[in-house]
Structure 1
Amino acid sequence: MLLRRLTQHVKAQNWFAIGIDFVIVVVGVFIGIQVANWNDSRAFNARELGLLAELKSEIEDGIQLSKNRGDGYAQAAAAGKRSLSFPANDIPCGNDCWQVLVDFMHASQWQGMSIPRTTCDEMRRLGIPSARPIVEAVEAFYAQNLQIVQAMIDKPAYRSLVRQMIPVEAQESYWAICHQLKDGYESYALNCPRGVSDD
C-alpha cells in the first residue's frame, strides 16, 4: 500500500508527499530496529539473570564441597597424629589393632580440591556478568580455589606406602564399614566396627 502510494506521488511529482513517505519509512525502520534491539536486550538480561542464579548455586555448591573436603582433611590429619603416636610408643596394639589400622587408612585419604565452574565458564564465554565487581569477585573465588588445587595436586607418598603394607582383606573391610561416600562427599567413621581380627 505504501509502495503504491509512493508510486502515485512520483508520477504526480509530489515531492513533498514523497518526502513524507520517505520519513515514514525511515522512522518505521528505525522503530523496528529499536524494538528488536530492546527485545534482544531484554532476552539477554533475562539470560544473564538466569545464569547469575545458576552461578550463585554453583558457587554455594563449591563452597560446601570445599568445606566437606576440608573436614575430610582435618579427619585425615587427626588420624595421622594418632598414627604417629603408635610407632613412637613402641607398644603393641593388643586388642585395639583394628583402630590403629583404621587410623593409618584414614591418614592416607586424599581428595582433589577442584570445584565445578561450568556456569562460570559459560558466562565468561558470553561476556557476562556485565557488572565488573561481580566478575572480579567470582574470578577471585575461583583463583583462590585454583591455588588450593595446585597445592594439593600431588598425592602424598605416605598414601601409597601405607596402603601397600595393609593386607587387601583389611582394606576391603575398611572401605565397606569405615568409609562413606554420600552425595559426592567422603566421610570417615572414627569408631567403625571391627572389620578383621587383631591377629
Structure 2
Amino acid sequence: MILRRITEHVRTQNWFAVGLDFVIVVVGVFIGIQVSNWNDARVDEGRALAYLERISLDLDADLDTLADRQNFWGEVSRYGGTGLRYAQTGTADGTSHWTVLLAYFQASQVAEFITAQATYDELRSAGDLELIRNLEIRNALASYYNFGAAATVVERPAYREHVRGIIPMDIQTYIWDSCYESNASGFQRMFDCPSPVEQERAHEIVDELAGNVGLMQELRYWISTMHVAQLIANDRVAGATALKQMIAASGVATNASKRP
C-alpha cells in the first residue's frame, strides 16, 4: 500500500508527499528494528536469569554436599587419631581393642567433593557467558568454577589400600554390613557397632597394624590431608555463599530469598 502511494505521488509530482512517505518508511523500519532488538534483549535477559537461577541451585547442592563432607572428614580424622594414639601408647586408652580396630578401618574411608557445575559448563560451551552482563558476577563465576584444589578432596590414600590388605576379610565384611551405610546421593555414615570377634583376636590385629611403621606414616599423612580438605571446604563454602548473595542481589530469586 505504501509503495502504491509513493508511485502515485511520484506520478503526480507531489514531492512533499513523496518525502513524507519516505520518512514514514524509514521511521517504520527503524521502529521495527528497535522492537526486534528490544525483544532479543528481553529474551537474552530471560536466558541469563534462567542460567543464574540454575547456578544458584547448583550452589545450594554444593553447600549441602560440603556440609556433609566436612562432617564426614571430621569423623575420619577422629578415627585416625584413635589409631595413632594406640600406635604411640600401646594401650586402648579406656576403650576396647575392637574399637581401635574399627577405627583403623573407618580411618580409610573417603568422601569426594566434586563441584556441581553442569550449568556453568553448559553456559561456557554454548558461548553464552556474555549473557551475564554483570562483570562482577561473571568474574566470580569464573573464580569459583575454575577450582584448582580438586585433587585434595578426591584423593584415595595409600593407607586405604594397605590397611584393607591387612584386616581380615570377615571383619571387613562385618564392618560394611553393620557399621556403615550410604545413600544414592553419596552421603555416608559410620557408626559404632558391637565386636564380632573375641578381644584376643582384635588385640592381635590392632597390634599388627600399629606395629607397621609404614602404615602409620600413611595414616598420619591421611589425617593431615583431611585437615587440608577441611580448610579447602571452608573456602568453598565462603565462595558459594558469597556468589549466591551476589546473584540474589542482581534480582534473581534464590532458594534463600524465596523462604518466608
Query: For 1:185 and 1:155, how far apart are their aligned partners in 2?
Result: 16
Out of 104, 118, 133, which is 1:130 matched to?
Answer: 133
Give TM-score scaled by structure 1 length: 0.84
Give the RMSD, CA atoms, in angstroms.
2.4
Q: Does 1:142 align with 2:141?
A: no
Shift, 1:32, TM fit: 0.9
Q: Please say if residues 180 and 191 of structure 2, whose CA atoms lie closer than 8 Å, have aligned partners that are also in contact.
A: no
Counterparts of 1:3-152 in structure 2 under 5 Å?
3-91=3-91, 96-124=96-124, 125-127=127-129, 128-143=131-146, 146-152=147-153
Query: For 1:150 and 1:87, how far apart are their aligned partners in 2?
Result: 29
Letter in 1 for 2:18: I
1:108-141: CA deviation from partner (whole Å, max 9, x where unpaired): 0122222111112233431242111212333333
Shift, 1:79, TM fit: 0.5
Identity %: 34
Aligned residue pairs total 195
Indicate the SS of the match to 1:22. Answer: helix
Aligned position for 2:177: 176
Q: Please say if residues 48 and 132 of structure 2, whose CA atoms lie closer than 8 Å, have aligned partners that are also in contact.
A: yes
Report 1 or 2 for greater relative contact order, CA contacts < 8 Å, sequence distance ≥ 6: 2
1:26-63: CA deviation from partner (whole Å, max 9, x where unpaired): 11111111111111111111221122121111112112
Aligned position for 2:206: none
Indicate the SS of the match to 1:110. Answer: coil
CA pair 135-121 structure 1, distance change in 2 beyond 3 A: same
Q: Does 1:187 align with 2:199?
A: no
Q: Please say if residues 108 and 159 of structure 1, whose CA atoms lie closer than 8 Å, have aligned partners that are also in contact.
A: yes
Aligned position for 1:160: 161
Q: Please say if residues 104 and 162 of structure 1, whose CA atoms lie closer than 8 Å, have aligned partners that are also in contact.
A: yes
Give TM-score scaled by structure 2 length: 0.66
CA pair 177-186 structure 1, distance change in 2 beyond 3 A: farther
1:45-96: CA deviation from partner (whole Å, max 9, x where unpaired): 122112212111111211221221122111111100111223334358xx94
Q: Please say if residues 179 and 189 of structure 1, whose CA atoms lie closer than 8 Å, have aligned partners that are also in contact.
A: yes
Letter in 2 for 1:188: R
